[in-house]
């Protein structure tokens, strides 16, 4: 008996030792690999450095398309791209909890959390010493990259173009070209005009391609509530896009936007649309897939959405030969007294950008990579693709191959497969007004390109209205003030702060109650709206406004725009 | 042996000594028993260790709920704030709504999935055609392996305005106009429960079915001789024989009543029904870890554990009272 027991103990001991040994083995192996990595760089061999890159807006993709190969060739960097699975916004907190960071992080609004946790490094010195391309890119706007008044360091190199001149709008109401044509290209400036056009066409054609016509469809069942329900209300009210806020450009005073009267007016109109059967009854329950497939059938007359959210539907419509069922943007406002702010110049937005992690073993390579991405050579590559493969130079000007342009227009996956245009966002980026050393536009979206890219029915409509571009329909950029605080959506809000918690509460209330109010009987609308205002007040909306005002003013102080 | 003697001599009065002696002899028999079972103890040791390492040591993390925890400060470098996070939690109206929804959907889910599983197992047990029986069983537990993401898509498509259910109801004249089921807050609990029943009935039935297989066939033969119909046999033999299994499973799942997860509610819910769809885990996700408030999230976790323990104790006490297979 005793013998057996000791044998058993021996076995257990051996087992435990083996386990422990295995553990050691693996960690040894890991550091061995790292060592070889380092030494290969030191030797200056051709082996590219692999940098891990997490992008909050990323998708599954390997870094092996033609453009990516060129980038690796020029910088010696191979990117291993990671992305949040299933649109999950816990990725950054989980990363912090685990304490393991990728080399490069595009965290969007969560950058503040990374700074709090010490997960990212300050870039000021590196920019000063070796960031010539970045310095040239940001110029005097570089202050906008700074973190806060209390900690005015630079932790990230910003997303979004510097020096922008909008050529397209996005996020406003959009109407089918066919509706405009059928109704003889009417003037549509106000909600009233818009509704009249929709209902007139709906009466004429209750069915399209054998399925019932849907005059207006929204996608309010998930976070897209914000872009298809919340933001269009702000545009109609003549406010620029500051997320959930309306901010006075002179004083920097911020107001949680849904308490304003303009919003009551807008949603009352939407409630009326619903009562008259002009709003898709599935607007708040359908999934994104259902929504896109509905739009792709061509039976939805109008939407209020961002172009990037409905790109798949546009490609499908063009592919099915229904170019006339694609959408044109509308400068619709509540009434004539409002000015549509779609072309507003927010300045360089700052706020969001790519940071380098504190645990990265390749911080310098990562920085040099980001700096190279801001260079002229890189910007032409990411915008236009590879010379001879995607574009050619004719008489000193870049011309995209027809085939490539057509694919970019119609094939939703082409950009991802070829890399053309795929690496512009969220890297440092020249804006639409920027030119290269030959005086040519760096981005593909110059005026000529936009005009060339217009579809035939689009050209007809523009000609009928006597315009060159759709933006000619909107109040011009120089009529609007330049924003002194960029865009509120890019503010970094301290995690776990009252501001964040109360805003989450307020957003939960508004998303629910406004949805309820839209779908309610019109007689009940005002009562429901008043209840919502009361609920917002109870949730502390006044404190919220006050804290946001303070934050806005500190941003203005940091940027020197106060 | 020397140990026992020392305890005795240290004692003061005679009566005390007597008691010490009994304690000592008890202890002696305890050691004796332990030695006689050393093999068993050695074999259970790894599992006890596992339990301690993975189930008890992490409880130390509960301390976070009483701090303003920030990961960069390390575990003990944070400010202690007492019950602040619990106060915040109990001052939050949304939390109580979430609690109500959690318990509501938890109870509905428990009752209906159990009833459905038992009924299904009973019917399957009565089936005489073996091949068909096996096939039915296999098909019925397949939904268990389908992810909630897919189930939610199936449900929303089936119930959409242009979906097959509305099509059926309007074509046979039960409805005049299609109903947007997913936009009715009053129906949300029902939809979640039905989806859960569909998904889990076949799987849950397996264990009841196994219990039924163990019933002595002589009982049925005796009942048949006495002229009992098949329904009578089910009622008087099958059900009483699996009673203890049912009760043990119920007690175990009552403890988990509050841990119903959030996938179903998050995937099936939308802004219209959110009042009925927000559950504690979803709340903890949005207002806790999603905002980087680890301490607040931990406070929610502690609250949930306390509720679970209370529920288990109640259920166990109830089982004790009716004299059935209790858990402890």
CB of A519 within 8 A of CB of B183? yes
| Cβ contact, residue pair A516, B272, below 8 Å | yes
Closest to A53 in 3D by CA, of A19, A30, A78: A78
How many structural domains compose chain B?
A: 3
A483 Cα to chain B: minimum distance (Å): 28
Contact A505 B71 (CB under 8 A): no
Same domain, yes or no: B51 and B89: no
Give the residue among B115, B144, B118 at the shortest CA–CA distance from B208.
B118
Question: Does residue B55 sit in the same domain as residue B144?
Answer: no
Q: Is the pLDDT of residue A559 over 80?
A: yes
- Report the distance separating Cα B229 and Cα A429, nearest Å: 81
Angle, in degrees to the nearest 10, between helices B243-255 and B185-213: 140
Cα of A95 vs its chain's centroid, Å: 22
Q: How confident is the model at residue A11 (pLDDT cuts 50, 70, 90)?
A: low
Q: What is the pLDDT of residues B11-52, one digit of tens each?
A: 344 455 555 555 556 677 888 888 888 899 999 999 999 999
E-assigned strand segments in A257-304: 300-304
Work out the average pLDDT over A490-505: 84
Asked whether A274 and A268 are in contact (CB, 8 A), the reply is: no
Range of the domain at B312: 84-321
CB A49 within 8 A of CB A37: yes
Q: Are residues B292 and B170 in the same domain?
A: yes
Structural domain includes residue B326: no
pLDDT at A33: 40
Chain center to CA of A74: 28
Does any CB of chain B come closer than 8 Å to the CB of residue A5? yes
B270 and B145 part of one domain:
yes
- Could you tell me if residue B239 is inside a domain? yes
C-alpha distances in angstroms, B83 versus A318, B67, B86, B88, B308?
A: 60, 9, 5, 9, 20
Distance of alpha carbon A559 from alpha carbon A518, whole angstroms: 40
Question: Is some CB atom of chain B closer than 8 A to the CB atom of A222?
Answer: yes
The answer to whether residue A478 scores a pLDDT higher than 50 is: yes
CA distance A301 to A213: 7
Which residues does chain B have within 8 Å of residue A116's beta carbon, measured at their own beta carbons? 70, 72, 292
Give the closest of B46, B270, B287 to A501, CB-based: B287
Instruction: Using an 8 Å CB-CB cutoff, list chain B residues near A282.
Output: 160-161, 180
My answer on whether B77 and B60 are in the same domain is: yes
Determine, yes or no, domain membership for B328: no
Residues B182, B64 share a domain: no
pLDDT over 50 at B243, yes or no: yes
Say yes or no: B76 and B101 in one domain.
no
CA A389, CA A378: separation in Å to the nearest integer? 16
C-alpha dist (Å) from residue A28 to A18, A20, A23, A99, A162: 15, 12, 9, 20, 46
More confident residue, B19 or B86: B86
pLDDT band at A486 (very low <50, low <70, confident <90, very high): confident
Flag whether A213 is in a domain. yes
Phi, psi at residue A82, to the nearest 5°? -120, 155
The pair of structure tokens assigned to A475 is 């109040």
pLDDT of A46 reads 65
pLDDT of residue A412: 77
Same structural domain, B8 and B64: no
pLDDT exceeds cutoff 70 at A116: yes
Computed over every residue of chain A, the mean pLDDT equals: 86
Beta strand A353-356 pairing with A156-158: antiparallel
- CB < 8 Å to B182, chain A: 285
The DSSP secondary-structure symbol of A151 reads S
C-alpha distances (whole Å) from A49 to each of A36, A55, A230, A382, B64 are 11, 19, 44, 20, 39
Q: Within a domain: residue A211?
A: yes
* Pairing mode, strands A77-82 and A49-55: parallel
State the CATH number of the domain containing residue B192. 1.10.3720.10
Q: How many CB pairs under 8 A join A and B?
A: 90
Q: How far does Cα A155 stand from its chain's mean position? A: 20
Q: Angle of helix B280-287 relative to helix B93-126, nearest 10 degrees?
A: 140
Q: What is the mean predicted confidence (pLDDT) over A401-422?
A: 86
Share of chain B above pLDDT 90, in %: 45
The answer to whether the CB atoms of A512 and B274 lie below 8 A apart is: yes
Q: Do B188 and B315 reside in the same domain of the chain? A: yes
> pLDDT digit string (tens) for A66-88?
999 999 999 999 999 998 876 56
- Of B125, B115, B102, the C-alpha closest to B197 is B115
B315 pLDDT above the threshold of 50: yes
Report pLDDT digits (tens) over A23-71: 444 333 333 344 434 433 444 456 889 999 999 888 888 999 999 999 9
Query: In this predicted model, which residue has the larger pLDDT, B128 or B43?
Result: B43
A498 at interface of B, judged by CB pairs closer than 8 A: no
**Residue with more model confidence, A396 or B134:** B134
A84 touching B (Cβ < 8 Å): no
Beta strands (DSSP E) in A42-155 are 49-55, 77-82, 104-106
Q: Which residues of B touch A118 (CB under 8 A)?
A: 72
A476 in contact with B at a CB cutoff of 8 Å? no
Higher pLDDT, A386 or B69: A386
**What pLDDT shows up at residue B294?**
86
The total of structural domains in chain A comes to 1
What is d(CA A227, CA A305) in angstroms, rounded to the nearest whole number?
Answer: 6
Q: Is the dihedral of CA B6, B7, B13, B17 positive or negative?
A: negative
- B256-267 per-position pLDDT tens digit: 888 888 889 988
Check residue A146 and report its DSSP letter.
B
pLDDT at A477: 84
Same domain, B120 and B266: yes
Distance CA A520, CA B130 (A): 55
Q: What is the pLDDT of residue A6?
A: 54
Confidence of residue A493 (pLDDT cuts 50, 70, 90): confident
Across A93-103, average pLDDT? 85
Rounded Cα gap, residues A356 and A122, in angstroms:
8
Residue B10, domain member (yes or no): yes
Q: Give the mutation candidate from B271, B277, B297 for the A interface (greatest A CB count, under 10 A).
A: B271
Q: Cα A515 to the chain's mean position, in Å? A: 24
Closest C-alpha among A466, A432, A434 to residue A449: A432
Give me the pLDDT at residue B19, please: 57
Residue A213: strand, helix, or coil: coil
* B74 at interface of A, judged by CB pairs closer than 8 A: no
Whether the per-residue pLDDT at A440 is higher than 60: the answer is: yes
Domain of residue A308: give its range.
Answer: 173-345+455-559
Is residue A432 a contact partner of residue A444, using CB atoms and an 8 Å limit?
Answer: no
Q: Is pLDDT larger for residue A346 or for residue A337?
A: A337
| Strand, coil or helix: A209 | coil
Residues of B in contact with A289 (CB under 8 A): 153
pLDDT of A16 above 60 = no
Q: Which of B156, B289, B291 is opposite residue A504, by nearest beta carbon?
A: B291
Q: What is the largest CA-CA distance in chain A?
A: 101
Chain A residues with CB under 8 Å of B293 CB are 495-496, 501
Tell me, what DSSP letter sits at residue A348? Answer: -
End-to-end CA distance of chain B: 35
> In this structure, what are the phi and psi dihedrals at residue A183, rounded to the nearest 5 degrees?
-90, 10
- B94 has a chain A CB within 8 A of its CB: yes
Instruction: With respect to residue A537, please indicate whether it lies within any of the assigned structural domains.
Output: yes
Q: What is the CATH number of the domain that holds A491?
A: 3.40.190.10
**Partner B contacted by A87 (CB < 8 A):** no
Q: What CA–CA distance (Å, rounded) separates A511 from B272?
A: 9
Comparing alpha-carbon positions, the chain B residue that sits nearest to A220 is B271
Q: Which residues contact A433 (CB under 8 A, 6 or more apart)?
A: A163, A164, A165
Tell if the CB–CB gap between A519 and B272 is shorter than 8 Å.
yes
Nearest to residue A469, comparing CAs of A456, A457, A480, A458?
Answer: A458
- CB distance from B270 to chain A under 8 Å? yes
Q: Looking at residue A406, what is its pLDDT?
A: 85
Q: Which of these ranges, A4-13, B19-28, B213-222, has the smallest mean pLDDT? A: A4-13
Q: Is the pLDDT of residue A367 over 90?
A: yes
Q: Which residues contact B10 (CB under 8 A, 6 or more apart)?
A: none
**B327 domain-assigned:** no
Asked whether the predicted pLDDT for residue A410 surpasses 50, the reply is: yes
Q: How far apart are CA A134 and CA A128, in angstroms?
A: 10
Question: SS3 of A315, please?
Answer: helix
Within a domain: B117: yes
- Cβ of A97 within 8 Å of Cβ of B271? The answer is no
What is the per-residue pLDDT for A453? 83
Cβ of B71 within 8 Å of Cβ of A516? The answer is no
Contacts of A99 in chain B (CB under 8 A): 71
Query: Residue A350: its pLDDT value, please?
Result: 72
Alpha carbon distance A301, A216 (integer Å): 6
pLDDT confidence of residue A43 = 42
Residues of A in contact with B285 (CB under 8 A): 90
Indicate the pLDDT class of residue A13, thresholds 50, 70 and 90. low
- Residues B146 and B253 placed together within one structural domain of the fold: yes
Q: How confident is the model at residue A148 (pLDDT cuts 50, 70, 90)?
A: confident
In 10 A of CB B55, how many CB atoms?
Answer: 9
**Which of A94, A286, A511 has the CB atom closest to B271's CB atom?**
A511
Judge whether B41 lies within some domain.
no
Asked if the model's pLDDT at residue A431 lies above 80, the reply is: yes
Q: For residues B278, B279, B281 and B282, what is the CA-based torsion angle, rounded to 10 degrees?
A: -10
Is the pLDDT at A2 greater than 70? The verdict is no
- Domain assignment present for residue B150? The answer is yes
Say whether B72 and A118 touch across the interface (CB within 8 A): yes
B174 and B25 co-located in one domain: no
Contacts of B294 in chain A (CB under 8 A): 97
Nearest to A93 among B38, B289, B296 (CB): B289
Q: What is the ipTM of this complex?
A: 0.75
The pLDDT tens digits for A260-318 are 999 999 999 999 999 999 999 999 998 898 899 999 999 999 999 999 899 899 999 99
Mean pLDDT along residues A187-213? 94
Indicate whether B3 pLDDT > 60. no
């Amino acid at each position: 008996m005793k013998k057996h027991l000791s044998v058993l103990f021996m076995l257990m001991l051996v087992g435990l030792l083996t386990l422990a040994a295995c553990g050691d083995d693996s960690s040894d192996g890991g550091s061995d690999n790292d060592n070889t990595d380092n030494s290969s760089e030191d030797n200056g061999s051709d082996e590219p450095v692999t940098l891990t890159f997490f992008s909050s807006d990323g998708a599954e993709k390997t870094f092996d398309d033609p453009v990516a190969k060129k980038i690796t060739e020029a910088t010696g960097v191979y990117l291993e791209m990671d992305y949040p699975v299933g649109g999950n916004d816990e990725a950054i907190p989980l990363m912090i909890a685990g304490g393991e960071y990728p080399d490069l992080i595009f965290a969007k609004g969560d950058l503040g959390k990374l700074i709090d946790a010490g997960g990212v490094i300050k870039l000021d010195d590196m920019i000063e010493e070796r960031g010539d391309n970045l310095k040239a890119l940001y110029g005097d706007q570089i202050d906008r990259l700074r973190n806060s008044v209390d900690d005015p360091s630079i932790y990230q190199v910003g997303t979004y173009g510097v020096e922008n001149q909008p050529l397209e709008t996005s996020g406003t109401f959009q109407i089918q070209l066919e509706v405009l044509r059928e109704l003889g290209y009417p003037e549509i400036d106000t909600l009233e005009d818009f509704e009249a056009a929709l209902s007139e066409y709906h009466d004429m054609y209750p069915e399209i391609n054998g399925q019932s016509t849907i005059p207006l469809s929204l996608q309010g069942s998930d976070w897209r509530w914000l872009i298809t329900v919340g933001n269009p209300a702000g545009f109609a009210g003549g406010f620029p896009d500051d997320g959930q806020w309306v901010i006075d450009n002179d004083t920097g005073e911020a107001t949680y936007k849904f308490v304003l009267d303009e919003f009551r007016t807008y949603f009352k109109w939407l409630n009326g649309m619903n009562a008259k059967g002009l709003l898709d009854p599935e607007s708040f329950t359908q999934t994104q897939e259902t929504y896109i497939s509905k739009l792709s059938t061509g039976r939805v007359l109008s939407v209020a959405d961002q172009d990037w959210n409905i790109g798949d539907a546009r490609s499908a419509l063009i592919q099915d030969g229904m170019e006339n069922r694609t959408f044109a943007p509308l400068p619709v406002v509540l009434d004539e007294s409002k000015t549509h702010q779609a072309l507003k110049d927010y300045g360089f937005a700052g706020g969001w950008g790519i940071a380098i992690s504190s645990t990265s073993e390749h911080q310098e390579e990562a920085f040099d990579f980001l700096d190279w991405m801001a260079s002229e050579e890189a910007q032409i590559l990411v915008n236009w693709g590879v010379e001879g493969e995607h574009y050619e130079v004719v008489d000193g000007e870049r011309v995209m191959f027809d085939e490539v342009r057509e694919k970019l227009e119609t094939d939703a996956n082409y950009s991802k497969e070829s890399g053309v245009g795929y690496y512009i966002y969220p890297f440092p980026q020249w804006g639409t007004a920027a030119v290269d050393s030959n005086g040519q536009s760096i981005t593909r979206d110059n005026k000529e390109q936009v005009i060339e890219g217009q579809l035939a029915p689009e050209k007809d409509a523009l000609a009928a209205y006597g315009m060159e571009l759709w933006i000619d329909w909107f109040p011009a950029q120089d009529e609007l003030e330049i924003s002194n605080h960029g865009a509120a959506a890019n503010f970094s809000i301290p995690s776990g702060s009252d501001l964040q918690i109360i805003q989450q509460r307020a957003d939960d209330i508004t998303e629910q109650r406004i949805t309820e109010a839209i779908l309610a009987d019109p007689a009940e609308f005002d009562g429901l709206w008043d209840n919502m205002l009361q609920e917002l007040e109870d949730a502390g909306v006044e404190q919220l406004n006050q804290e946001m005002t303070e934050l806005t003013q500190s941003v203005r102080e940091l940027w020197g725009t106060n | 042996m020397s140990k026992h003697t020392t305890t005795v001599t240290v004692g003061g009065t005679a009566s005390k000594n007597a008691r010490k002696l009994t304690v000592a002899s008890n202890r002696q028999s305890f050691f004796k028993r332990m030695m006689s079972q050393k093999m068993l103890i050695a074999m259970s040791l790894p599992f006890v260790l596992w339990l301690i390492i993975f189930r008890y040591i992490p409880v130390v993390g509960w301390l976070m709920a009483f701090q303003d925890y920030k990961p960069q400060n390390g575990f003990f470098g944070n400010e202690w704030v007492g019950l602040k996070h619990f106060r915040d939690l109990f001052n939050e109206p949304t939390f109580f709504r979430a609690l109500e929804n959690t318990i509501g959907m938890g109870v509905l889910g428990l009752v209906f999935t159990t009833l459905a599983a038992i009924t299904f197992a009973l019917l399957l047990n009565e089936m005489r055609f073996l091949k068909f029986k096996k096939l039915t069983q296999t098909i019925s537990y397949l939904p268990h392996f389908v992810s909630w993401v897919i189930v939610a898509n199936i449900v929303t498509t089936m119930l959409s305005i242009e979906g097959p259910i509305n099509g059926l109801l309007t074509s046979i004249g039960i409805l005049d106009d299609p109903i947007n089921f997913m936009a009715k807050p009053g129906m949300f609990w029902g939809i979640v429960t039905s989806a859960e029943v569909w998904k889990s009935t076949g799987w849950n039935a397996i264990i009841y079915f196994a219990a039924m297989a163990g019933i002595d066939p002589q009982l049925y033969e005796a009942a048949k001789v006495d002229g009992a119909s098949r329904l009578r046999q089910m009622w008087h033999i099958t059900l009483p024989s699996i009673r203890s299994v049912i009760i043990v499973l119920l007690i175990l799942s009552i403890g988990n009543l509050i841990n119903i997860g959030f996938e179903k509610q998050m995937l099936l819910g939308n802004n219209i029904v959110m009042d009925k769809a927000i559950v504690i885990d979803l709340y903890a996700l949005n207002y806790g870890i999603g905002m980087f408030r680890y301490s607040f999230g931990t406070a929610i976790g502690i609250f949930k554990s306390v509720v679970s323990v209370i529920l288990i104790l109640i259920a166990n006490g109830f089982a004790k009272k009716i004299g059935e297979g209790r858990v402890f």
